[in-house]
Structure 1
Amino acid sequence: MKVEHYCRGALYAIVGISVFQALIGEYLGFHQCNYLCDVLLILLLIVRMWESKGAFIYTLKRVEYLPIAAFGVVILLGWFMNGVPVLHALWGMRNYGRFFLFFILVVDFLGPQDAINLEEFFLKLFPIHITLVVFQYFVGGHKQDALSGLFGTITGGNGGMAIYFCILLCIMLSRMEYGKMRYPQFLSYLALMAVNTAASELKFFFVIAVCIAGWYVVVSQKKKRAVTLAVIVCIAMFLGMQLMYQIFPFWTGYLDPTNIPEVITSQTVYSTSTDIGRTAVFSKLTPMITEWSGKGALAWGIGLGNADYSDSFSFLNSEFYTVHQASHYTWLSLGYLFSETGYLGTISYLAFFGVLELRALWRYYRERTRLQMLGTFFPFVALALIVYNSTMRSNFAYMMFVMLAFSMLEKDPQRNTTFWGEKHLEE
């Protein structure tokens, strides 16, 4: 029992590192603390395999894991069809495999009480986050991407904040649905999130928050309450956008309904005409891939690791990245994915989230519990993040992957829920 206790602690530690890594790097100087997650995952896998005498493999017979297996087959095909340096192949496998391994270990080790604990953890962090935001803004003079609270003052930290805010909003709505949160806390948290989003210029959250509210109305069993809460969320986001326009006048009208279609279909992302836009990943990367590895590579990609790079280890920078980095395909998870695994790999990878969504809905409509409802939010949020930026490849993604597992921690007939000395929690 002690071994399982330590394994649970290690999984909690990985989530904690993903949240606090920016602060640890900035204030303690330990900038490589994110690699501790890799070490913990390897140790967890070794312990689990040793403890189960190899029987762990048989626990993988779940429909949710089929897309992972299909993705693995495409990776092998891509490696076979392309010459991939061993170190680059291992680096690419690490950058995708760590999250799948983490997800599987969470499902294997954690139970419904752990889900409740993690919810409480994310909720209780919010006042600390806002305190840090106030300090960074008024004392440090930070703004826009450099104003990310728990997620630091380095450009890119707002990607972690976006994941955190999505998680927080989903938890808040599910708790309001089941009477686990009162209106004063809900409204104060929502107002502070809107102000923080405006000051940090986190435009994505204004849009995804409205989508989350809409999804909540669809799955809710209490439609009147759901519509009321969704309207409140939309009003808060609208007011937040107006505040952002006041702080950053050059964005005025950017998220107006008439301009959103143009934003979505833009062929560029941020800086120049060479950028690959979020809806132009396939059209702009296709000629680059075919020129690099032939038309066949559109099916299986140029090989996992062959389009990757590393900020810490320059020897892991691929030739494809060196030649095409100006296109900024690395700013989008979908850009990496299509380049390295082609259409087959992209479909397999995205199918993982699609299957999770369908299974989460099936469990929710069968059992009607709060955690099952909460589990229906995250697959589509993850898909939106994959299209929006590259955060789902960063350490911040551990937060999302632990939430993706929530619906599989609820009353699974194949799981001994008393293994941890706990009883199943009905909410």
Structure 2
Amino acid sequence: MSITTKRTLQDIDADWVIWIQIIYNIFVKFAIYNLSFPRWMNYFTDLITIVLFLFLIRTKKITVCKDFFSASCMILCFFWVGFLSTVVSGGDSVLYLWAIRNYGRFFLWLILCIQLLNVNKWFGHIRFLHILLYLNLFIMMVQFFVFGERMDYLNGLFGRYVGGNSAVNTFVVVLTIENIAAYLSQKRAIKVVLINIFVISVTCALNEVKFYFIELILVVIGALFIGNRRTWKALAKSVYLIIVFGIMMLIGGAIFLYLYPGFSEKLSLEYMIYYSTRSYNSSKIIYHEGIPVSNRLTVFGIVDHYFLESALQKILGIGMGAADIAAFIPNPFYIKYSAIAYNAFLFGLILLENGYVGLIIYLSFILFVFLNSKRLVKKDPEQYKYSGIISGTAAFLFLFIGVYNSALKIESSGYIYFTFLSLVFATRIHSGKHMGRTCFLRHRDFQYNTASGAKRL
């Protein structure tokens, strides 16, 4: 006789759900664009997030510390400004709700990772991500040398579609951060790190992600600033790391020029500045509706000059969701002005929809993660050095990626990046050194466990 048991949400291993989400978003674009799976699979990620949220509610346990509370307040302020912006501008409430979904899913994911991520299993999952890194390179090499795929269509596991290289870039960037953090915290030998960075460099060379080599410099700077102490040994280690990664950049650049010999002039700083300021979109349009097409270094000026006309609009924007694409809802503003490409850059879009106040709050949240990571590493390097370097450097690089493109507002990039942002907070909560309170949700009560005993409100 067999006995069957009914599984509930409490039987779910939340940590595995987190990593299923990450892995699913690595493969889903490949399934859609290479294997012709239906596009509604993109929205299955929302269901995974909802399941994890219900699991957190079902466990009736939320650990609250000062850092978690501060981060949550910043997130709520961002959406409150978006609400005010929508009300003042007379915006569409449905578009506002869709914008809450677009931004809120990643902030909610950050909170879920802080509460539910099992840091003791972290390295096992990281090893699997490195396996996917090597598998991705193998698939890209087959696509390049056998099928003749090039540039935007050469994305390996991330699918054959224009813009897929932004997801590849995010994937290799977080693994670059992780490798440098592992080396600086003495969790991985330098030779293993160099092999991984070499694989990443070849991946970026094949994928024509030339800006990765700028990101590599920023990652090294951010990691050394957060993780190194002011000692001669730390200084020597920093110099050694800079020299080694400088050599890796030269090797990666040489491979890139071998694969794309016509790009020799496009690796100069002058060309990259020109490339980031020219008015030119994928349809070769320079002006649209009398407005120049925006680019990475011009989008803020164009948005401020042409769209934020009144003082109130400069403060609050034109309404959260009012300028972004909506999957099931026609957006007149987006239909009319999307050719200007303002939505191709995350911070430019936030400025347009939420004004300078919304952008400042968003940037303040990123800065908070960066500074808090630095503080925790300085306070207890043995406990927080690895996780602090990862979260802090990810926050530091967020400032570059938010200007560079809009990758961190799409599923294939956002979930994995916000997971890495959450690591230092998850480590603090998991270590039991958060000096905060654990909130048990029971019916309509809140019971707080503290060091001095339980207190019921």
User: Shared fold by TM > 0.5?
Assistant: yes
One-letter amino acid matched to 1:362: R
Residue 3 of structure 2: aligned partner: none
Q: Which has the higher strand share?
A: 2
One-letter amino acid matched to 2:321: G
Residue 167 of structure 1: aligned partner: 174
Q: How many pairs align?
A: 411
Deviation at 1:186, TM superposition (A): 2.5
Contact kept? 1:19, 1:399, Cα under 8 Å: no
One-letter amino acid matched to 1:231: I
- Alpha carbon RMSD of aligned pairs, Å? 2.6
Contact kept? 1:308, 1:317, Cα under 8 Å: no
Mark the CA change 1:95 to 1:2 in structure 2 (over 3 Å): closer, same or farther: closer
Residue 445 of structure 2: aligned partner: none
One-letter amino acid matched to 1:307: A
TM-score using structure 1 length: 0.88
Match of 1:288 among 298, 306, 313: 306
2:410 matches 1:410:
no
> What whole-Å deviation, never above 9, does each CA across 1:399-419 have from its counterpart, x for those lacking one?
1000000111223334799x9
Structure 2 gap ranges (5+): 1-7, 287-291, 441-457
Match of 1:43 among 51, 59, 72: 51
Matches within 5 A, 1:175-324: 175-218=182-225, 219-221=227-229, 222-263=234-275, 271-273=284-286, 274-290=292-308, 294-310=310-326, 313=327, 315-324=328-337
One-letter amino acid matched to 1:410: T
2:129 matches 1:129:
no
Mark the CA change 1:114 to 1:72 in structure 2 (over 3 Å): closer, same or farther: farther
Contact kept? 1:4, 1:109, Cα under 8 Å: no
Cα distance in 1, alignment partners of residues 252 and 220 from structure 2: 15
Determine helix, strand or coil for the equivalent of 1:317.
coil
One-letter amino acid matched to 1:298: K
Residue 17 of structure 2: aligned partner: 10
Deviation at 1:182, TM superposition (A): 3.0
Deviation at 1:132, TM superposition (A): 1.0
Mark the CA change 1:116 to 1:75 in structure 2 (over 3 Å): closer, same or farther: same
Contact kept? 1:21, 1:34, Cα under 8 Å: yes
Contact kept? 2:315, 2:356, Cα under 8 Å: yes
Mark the CA change 1:201 to 1:83 in structure 2 (over 3 Å): closer, same or farther: same
Contact kept? 1:21, 1:33, Cα under 8 Å: yes
Residue range with higher mean Cα deviation, 389-398 or 221-230 = 221-230
2:394 matches 1:365:
no
Deviation at 1:261, TM superposition (A): 4.7
Residue 86 of structure 2: aligned partner: 79
Match of 1:145 among 145, 152, 163: 152
2:397 matches 1:350:
no
Residue 388 of structure 1: aligned partner: 404
Residue 447 of structure 2: aligned partner: none
Deviation at 1:258, TM superposition (A): 4.8
Residue range with higher mean Cα deviation, 63-72 or 215-224 = 215-224
Mark the CA change 1:3 to 1:59 in structure 2 (over 3 Å): closer, same or farther: farther
Mark the CA change 1:240 to 1:71 in structure 2 (over 3 Å): closer, same or farther: same
Residue range with higher mean Cα deviation, 180-189 or 191-200 = 180-189
TM-score using structure 2 length: 0.82
Deviation at 1:42, TM superposition (A): 2.2
> What whole-Å deviation, never above 9, does each CA across 1:354-412 have from its counterpart, x for those lacking one?
10001011011111132223222110112211110010110021110000001112233
